[in-house]
Chains A and B, each alone.
Chain A
Amino acid sequence: MGLRIQIKKLVIYFFSLLLLLSFLFKNSLAYSTQENIAVIGHHEHEVLTSPVRIAIGHGNRIYVSDFKKKFVAIIKITKKKLKIIRTISINGNPLGVAVDRKGRIYVGNNSYNRIEVYTPKGKFKYCLEGEIKRPNDIAIASNGLIYVVASDENLVKIYNPDGSFRSSFGGSGKDYGQFNFPTGIAIDENNMEVIVSDFLNKRIQIFDYEGNWLRTIGGGWFSSVVDRPQGIAVDEQGRIYVVDPKQACVLIFSHSGKLITTFGEYGEDEGQLRIPLDIVINKKGDAFVTSYQNSRIEIFEGVVK
């Protein structure tokens, strides 16, 4: 009789422990709402219908690819207002967009699997060497190297400043350094690192400039703090901003990978996001987030104090 009671107790303890463990793992995915986030507002752009990738250039300009309207919009930021000053028509659906130091605009053409290079005034110049299947995002390092995410190839391809192919890294798989549909990419200039979203592996992977794996954020055994990572940005303090359309928010990680805070929530109102896909941070620390389903760019002022 006594033994049966002991067994019952043990079973209760065991399942209580399991319950506690599952609760702890679940909490790692929960939203955190920190008071130090200042959500100031947004500016709605009726001109944009399906903003996807976003890049920042000199002179307070941001560059946004509109997938359905098939153009890249060059937008000037003036006193918290956004004004489209030029659009570059793309023969196909644009995805990734980036700007180099000379103001040249790099656009990933999803329909023709290539990266097209345009002058600052929007005149087509040339394409980067070779086919790039699903050119999802582009980042340019200060040394001029161009990093392109080829999502359908599970690779990040590196190009020389003249557009010639240099090397690639990644490959399909779950191991460190491999990808299962990479999406966004960003360069951390201060730490000379390349940061890549690994969409279906639910993690962020960090490499050096040559593509050697350094470390990973998220992608745990049970659950990951990152659910469906898309666009990435890095601020001057080395903090990593990850857009997660599944959680409808932006997660901010420290350089070492610790979750600092999140901002944004699901919805159609100011400060809310529906299918956010990419982010850039300006020198003031303001975040510009493309909200695909809301057809606009959301501005979050001074997201981290």
Chain B
Amino acid sequence: MRKKYIIILFIFIIGLSLIFIIFNSPKTEALIPVHQCDYCHGMHSTKGPKLQKEIDAENTCLTCHAPGGASSLKAANHIPDMYTCMDCHDPHDNVTNWLGGTNIKLVLDYVIGQDGSLRPVVFESRGTDVGDPTLHSFCDGDEDGNGVWDGVCDTCHVNTGKHNYPDIKSHKHQQGKTCTRCHEHIDGFLK
């Protein structure tokens, strides 16, 4: 009889330990606290694809990134109804990104360019207007000389009025500067 109670107690303690581990595991704090799996995904009664709790990922992003949320700076996507948050960002992180690798700000390693091809993105600096590191910022103008225009804005803006890459001379508009100084994310970069 005593043995039975010991076994029950043992199982109870193991159970409690499991609960504690599940809810306090450091692994669940891998990214910023709100970017944990269960913020966007669920196991049961999910509304969207890929076990997403919301019908679209954009709604999940904007719960915090809309005005009034914990981060309001990214409250609009580039050309509404054409691109969504996920076209430029990966909330799952791309591992190297968060751990000091290639891309900061959860920017994708590759985006689909205007010609439909996958184009690499290297975004290591937000750039500056006072001359500090600008390498691999929004618009680096092939600063590393690898022949690839891989700034986060360069990647798509290959054939516009102010950035036309075959003609290097035309690629002088605010080169190395922070594009968002004028084209803010909140306005979808359009102004």
Residue of B nearest to A292 (CB): B66
- Known contacts A67-B67, A228-B64; A274/B4 CB under 8 A: no
Contact yes or no, B63 A7, CB < 8 A: no
**A262 sits at the interface (CB 8 A):** no
Closest partner residue, chain A, to B43 (CB atom): A26
How many of chain B's residues have a CB under 8 angstroms from any CB in A? 31
Q: Do A275 and B11 contact each other (CB < 8 Å), given the known contacts A50-B75, A67-B186?
A: no
Mask for A46-64, Cβ within 8 A of B = 1, else 0? 0000101100000000000
Q: Which residues of A contact B75 (CB under 8 A)?
A: 50, 67-68
Q: Which residue of B lies closest to A221 (CB)?
A: B23
Q: Once the chains bind, are B11 and A14 in contact (CB under 8 Å)?
A: yes
Check if A293 sits within 8 Å of B62, measured CB to CB: yes
Closest to A290 in B: B68
Would you call A181 and B70 a contact (CB within 8 A)? yes
Q: Which residue of A lies closest to B58 (CB)?
A: A293
Question: Closest chain A residue to B54 by CB distance?
Answer: A266
Contacting residues, chain A, for B72 (C-beta < 8 A)? 67, 110
Task: Write the nearest CB–CB distance from A15 to chain B, whole angstroms.
Answer: 8
Contact digits for A262-286, partner B, Cβ 8 Å, 1 yes 0 no: 0000110000001101100000000
B34 with A275: CB separation less than 8 A: no
A154 to B98, CA, bound (A): 26
A20 sits at the interface (CB 8 A): no
Contact of B62 among A7, A18, A275 (CB under 8 A): A275
Flag whether A214 is at the interface (Cβ < 8 A).
no
- Chain B: CB-nearest residue to A137: B68
Q: B143 on the interface (CB 8 Å rule)?
A: no
Contact between A136 and B63, CB atoms less than 8 A apart: no
Q: Count A-B pairs with CB separation below 8 Å.
A: 86
Judge whether A113 is part of the interface by a CB distance below 8 angstroms.
no
Specify which chain A residues have a CB less than 8 angstroms from the CB of B101 in the assembled complex: none
Q: Which residues of B contact A230 (CB under 8 A)?
A: 68-69
User: In the bound complex, how far is the Cα of B186 from the Cα of A68, in angstroms?
Assistant: 7
A1-21 vs B: 1/0 string, CB under 8 Å? 001001100110010001000
Q: A10-B8, A274-B59 are in contact. Are A52 and B68 (CB under 8 A)?
A: yes
A93 at interface by CB-CB < 8 Å: yes
> Smallest Cβ distance from B14 to chain A, in angstroms?
9
Among B3, B4, B19, B59, the residue within 8 A (CB) of A275 is B59
Is A199 part of the contact surface with B, judged by Cβ < 8 Å? yes
Q: Are A7 and B68 neighbours in the complex by a CB distance under 8 Å?
A: no
Interface residues of A in 237-256 (CB under 8 A from B): 245-246, 248
Is A68's CB under 8 angstroms from B76's CB?
A: yes
Q: From residue 129 to 182 of chain A, which have CB atoms closer than 8 A to chain B?
A: 136-137, 151, 181
A53 to B72, CA, bound (A): 14
In chain A, positions 74-92 with a C-beta closer than 8 Å to chain B are none
In the complex, the answer to whether B63 meets A246 with C-beta atoms within 8 Å is yes
Q: Interface digits, A82-119 against B, CB 8 Å rule (1 contact, 0 not)?
A: 00000000000101000000000000001000000000
Q: With A10-B8, A18-B15, A266-B54 given, is the CB distance from A199 to B70 under 8 Å?
A: yes
How long is the Cα–Cα vector from A248 to B59 in the complex, in angstroms? 9
Write out the residue numbers on chain A whose beta carbons fall within 8 Å of the beta carbon of B3: 3
Chain A residues whose C-beta falls within 8 Å of the C-beta of B69 in the assembled complex: 183, 199, 228, 230, 245
Contact present for B67 and A52 (CB under 8 Å): yes
B82 at the interface (CB under 8 A from A): no
Determine the chain A residues whose CB is within 8 A of the CB of B50 once the complex forms. none
Residues of chain A contacted by B34 (CB below 8 angstroms): 200
CA distance A267 to B76 in the complex (A): 18
Query: Which residues of chain B are near A246, meaning CB under 8 Å?
Result: 60, 63
Residues of B within 8 A of A26 (CB): 44
Q: Nearest Cβ in chain A — how far from B42, in angstroms?
A: 9
Interface string of B2-14 (1 = CB under 8 A from A): 0110011001100
The answer to whether B187 touches A68 (Cβ under 8 A) is yes
Cα of A133 to Cα of B47 in the assembled complex, Å: 36
Minimum CB–CB distance from A153 to chain B (whole Å) comes to 13
Chain B interface residues toward A at CB < 8 A: 3-4, 7-8, 11-12, 15, 19, 23, 33-34, 44, 47, 54-55, 58-60, 62-64, 66-70, 72, 75-76, 186-187
A and B contact pairs by CB, cutoff 8 A, 11 listed: A7-B7, A50-B75, A68-B186, A93-B186, A137-B68, A151-B70, A246-B60, A246-B63, A266-B59, A278-B68, A293-B58
**A-B CB proximity, top 4 nearest:** A67-B67, A246-B63, A245-B63, A52-B67
Beyond A10-B7, A52-B67, A228-B64, 9 additional pairs, beta carbon < 8 A: A3-B7, A6-B4, A52-B68, A67-B75, A68-B75, A95-B68, A200-B70, A266-B47, A292-B66
